[in-house]
Amino acid sequence: MNKELQQFITSEILPQYNHFDAAHQQDHAKKVMDESMALAANYDIDTDMVYTIAAYHDLGLCEGRENHHLTSGRIMRSDQRLLRWFTPEQIEIMAQAVEDHRASAHHAPRSIYGRIVAEADRNIDIDVIITRTLQYGLAHYPQLNREEHILRALDHLHEKYSRNGYLKLWIPGSKNERELHRLWDLIDDKTAIRKAVEDKYSQIINE
């Protein structure tokens, strides 16, 4: 890894996550960066690019969640500072990877870089997923009451993570794939998934 690039990302890029919701703070970005680098070890690719893609992948949240992946790509393309370490062609590949990371994307990532950041961003950890789902709802829909937050979370979990959900994984045999199967089983059990969401909600708001 280029040490100067690492310092730039640590001091100039990661602090931008401090302005986002609780589910998308620096800890999330760093987790995606760590997971991306671990996945990259299995491929003969540029790890500086992998690291930078992961750092930039959610910067577009500064303009809202709906099109944040596209905004993140635009931010990456327009950041002239990156030319200190990358060619314009490399920056374009990175911007495309950032655009392709979103779980609801209708097409496969255009490069291995996109597949890696998409996989790393999934982080299929049942406790983390339920926590982030509720945190997002609490941050963006403060008018909802307890039951409405729980129902919103249950709807989101089913829509995204169930057997027929829109989330797709792009690296077969990954630990995410194994964990997703466990999450399918939990979502299939309506009593168990509701209890898990209720318990996490109470933990988050200290009921």
Q: What is the pLDDT along the chain (207 residues), one digit of tens a residue?
A: 899 999 999 999 999 999 998 778 999 999 999 999 999 999 999 999 999 999 999 999 999 878 899 999 999 999 999 999 999 999 999 999 999 998 767 788 999 999 999 999 987 999 999 998 999 999 999 999 999 999 999 999 999 999 999 988 888 888 899 999 999 999 999 999 999 999 999 999 986
Q: Is the dihedral of CA 181, 188, 105, 135 positive or negative?
A: negative
Integer Cα distance of 158 and 102 in angstroms: 17
- With 0-12 / 13-18 / 19 or more C-beta atoms within 10 angstroms meaning exposed / middle / buried, residue 189 is exposed
In sequence order, what DSSP letters do the residues of 67-126 get, joined into one string?
Answer: THHHHHHHHHHH-GGGGGT--HHHHHHHHHHHHTT-TT-SS--SSHHHHHHHHHHH---H
Query: CA nearest 124: which of 164, 157, 99?
Result: 157
pLDDT on residue 207: 60
Contact 32, 57 (CB under 8 A): yes
In which residue are the tokens 């609780």 written? Answer: 22
Choose the CATH number for 3-122 among 1.10.3210.10, 3.30.420.10, 1.10.3720.10, 3.40.50.970. 1.10.3210.10
8-state DSSP, 183: H
